[in-house]
């Protein structure tokens, strides 16, 4: 039997499918879903799918934008996911999907910092994007985001990932960390 909170989440998601859901309700569900993503089963979905559901070089792959049917199929059929099946209520599943859908609404830009020189080029559209930077070195890295038109910087611990939301305008953008370059063309 569903409790009142479960019914509210289910109703909000149903209304959202019909176009009546408010951004605030979607944001609340996604925020709760993010917490579930980080902690489910005591280790979180991130253990296999990466900090930002982008795969992150882990075994689980990219699940950004996944839907409820895909989640339920994985919970029933994938051996590792079956371990989580009893830990995720219907409400948890709906909130988790709200978070994954939110992540799926952003274009994904990935940049991995390592020990070797590199020049990566990526092309994206001029719409909301999420830049996920992973530090695969044994040293902390501080990365200036001025090349994106943002005055901030990211500090990444060894073998850590961080993400930045970005609304790019058409043009060329360039990020550099030591001898590693990310060249972004925005159309």
CATH number at residue 16: 1.10.760.10
CA dist., res. 72 & res. 163, Å (int): 27
pLDDT > 80? residue 56: no
Domain boundary pick from 104, 121, 143:
104
Do 81 and 172 lie in one domain? The reply is no
Query: Average of pLDDT values for 173-180?
Result: 93
Region of 169 please: left (phi>0), alpha (psi -120 to 50) or beta: beta
Do 118 and 92 lie in one domain? The reply is no
pLDDT > 70? residue 158: yes
Domain boundary pick from 46, 80, 104:
104
Tens-digit pLDDT profile for residues 130-156: 999 999 999 999 999 998 988 789 999
Residues 145 and 152: beta-carbon distance below 8 Å? yes
Domain boundary pick from 53, 75, 104:
104
Do 14 and 53 lie in one domain? The reply is yes
Lowest mean pLDDT among 2-6, 155-159, 182-186: 2-6
* Six token digits for residue 2: 């569903």
Q: What is the CA radius of gyration of the chain?
A: 18
pLDDT for the residue numbered 17: 46
Query: Secondary structure of the chain: what % helix, strand, coil (to 5)?
Result: 40, 25, 35
pLDDT for the residue numbered 155: 95
Torsion angle in degrees (nearest 10) through CA of 10, 32, 110, 165: 100
Residues 50 and 60: beta-carbon distance below 8 Å? yes
Do 121 and 76 lie in one domain? The reply is no
Residues 142 and 153: beta-carbon distance below 8 Å? yes
- Say how many domains are in the chain: 2
Do 69 and 90 lie in one domain? The reply is yes
* Six token digits for residue 3: 């409790």
Q: What is the mean pLDDT of the chain?
A: 85
pLDDT for the residue numbered 25: 52
Domain, as residue range, for 58: 4-104
**For 133, phi and psi rounded to 5 degrees?**
-110, 130
In our burial notation (b when 16+ CB lie closer than 10 A, e otherwise), range 1-32 reads eeeeeeeebeebbeebeeeebeeebbebbbeb
pLDDT for the residue numbered 57: 67
pLDDT > 50? residue 94: yes
pLDDT for the residue numbered 8: 44
pTM of this prediction?
0.79
pLDDT for the residue numbered 26: 57
Do 95 and 27 lie in one domain? The reply is yes
């Amino acid at each position: 039997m569903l409790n009142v909170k479960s019914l509210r989440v289910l109703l909000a998601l149903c209304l959202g499918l019909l176009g009546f859901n408010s951004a605030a309700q979607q944001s609340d569900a996604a925020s709760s879903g993010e917490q579930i993503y980080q902690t489910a089963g005591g280790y979180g979905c991130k253990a296999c799918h990466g900090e930002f559901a982008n795969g992150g070089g882990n075994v689980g792959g990219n699940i950004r934008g996944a839907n409820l049917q895909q989640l339920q199929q994985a919970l029933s059929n994938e051996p590792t996911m079956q371990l989580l099946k009893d830990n995720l209520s219907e409400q948890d599943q709906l909130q988790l999907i709200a978070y994954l859908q939110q992540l799926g609404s952003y274009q994904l830009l990935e940049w991995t910092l390592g020990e070797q020189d590199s020049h990566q080029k990526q092309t994206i559209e001029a719409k909301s994007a999420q830049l996920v930077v992973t530090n695969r070195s044994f040293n902390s890295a501080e990365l200036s985001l001025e090349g994106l038109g943002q005055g901030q910087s990211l500090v990444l611990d060894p073998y850590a990932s961080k993400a930045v939301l970005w609304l790019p305008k058409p043009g060329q953008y360039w990020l550099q960390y030591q001898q590693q370059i990310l060249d972004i063309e925005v159309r």
